[in-house]
Homo-oligomer: A and B are copies of this chain.
Amino acid sequence: MPQSFESATALTPVDGGFTAELDPGWDVGGGILNGGYLLAVAARAAVEASPHAHPVALSASYLRVAAPGPATLTVTAGRAGRTLQHVHVVLADATGPAVTVQVTTATLPDATPDHPVPPPAATPVEDCFSIAEHAHLAPPGMPVPGLSQQVETRLDPLTAGWALGEFSDEPVIRAWLRFADGREPDPLGLVAFTDALPPTSWATGQLGWAPTVQLQTLVRALPAPGWCLVEARGGEASGGWVDEDYRVWDSTGRLVAQSRQLARTAR
């Protein structure tokens, strides 16, 4: 039974911030904790230190791999305005700082967007396939990520040829996501979802880990209950660097989160 997202992101208040216990179950393979999970832990620290309930913008620098186990979150909160607050969070494991995050907290809108971004045409969730249930399809040498036990990930067959050794020209991966523990999506969950898919370079056959260097996540609205549709699209790759864009739509088809990351290309 996987540990819940709630307990995997639980915080204990201490002077200057919080302590946490980073859950080894949220790895992307090889014991490396998922960047979205770490960002969600930092986001929770920011909102717990703020009068505003939601993280609306987050920028993270990944200094090095964070080890599972005890961690501290040092929180420096700026002036709390009526509309928003800026909060700086440093997540450190036993060795020292691993992730630094700038979080802007505010209250997410219910308003209907102007210029809404429609979801892409995706295969219905019942015709998609589960990463966890098809672990034997993982690329050779790729360990099954613990993440896929925590977040149910139903890959759209249209962008999952790579799992069968059929590579695409397009660095795009699309999937339906929900928490395995039954938790409905919420702003902290969306933060985790904005870095929850395999590297988009897998779609084109460049398998391997693509470590995130910087990640910016924007949470745009409160999500409706149900599956979220998540699409990751690789941009330009050159000189060892690649950018990836994520978009997340809720079950009503509303864009609820987006992210952009700069990563090192898969090795």
Contact = CB atoms under 8 A, between A and B. Distances in A.
Given A115-B235, A171-B115, A102 B102 contact: yes
A60 B88 CA distance: 11
A115 to B, nearest CB: 6
Given A57-B214, A59-B102, A262-B57, A115 B237 contact: yes
A: interface residue count bin: 35 or more
Given A56-B262, A239-B108, A241-B220, A86 B100 contact: yes
Contacts of A234: 115
Nearest to A242: B114
Given A61-B59, A100-B86, A104-B213, A113 B238 contact: yes
A45 to B, nearest CB: 16
A241 B56 contact: yes
A88 to B, nearest CB: 7
A114 B213 contact: no
Interface in A34-58: 56-57
Nearest to A247: B235
A243 B60 CA distance: 18
A100 B100 contact: no
A78 interface: yes
A256 B192 CA distance: 29
Contact of A262 (B117, B213, B218, B237): B218
Interface string A237-267: 1111101000000000001001010101000
A221 interface: yes
20 contacts: A57-B61, A57-B214, A59-B59, A59-B102, A61-B102, A109-B239, A109-B241, A110-B239, A111-B238, A111-B239, A112-B238, A113-B236, A115-B171, A117-B235, A214-B218, A216-B216, A218-B262, A220-B241, A220-B243, A235-B258
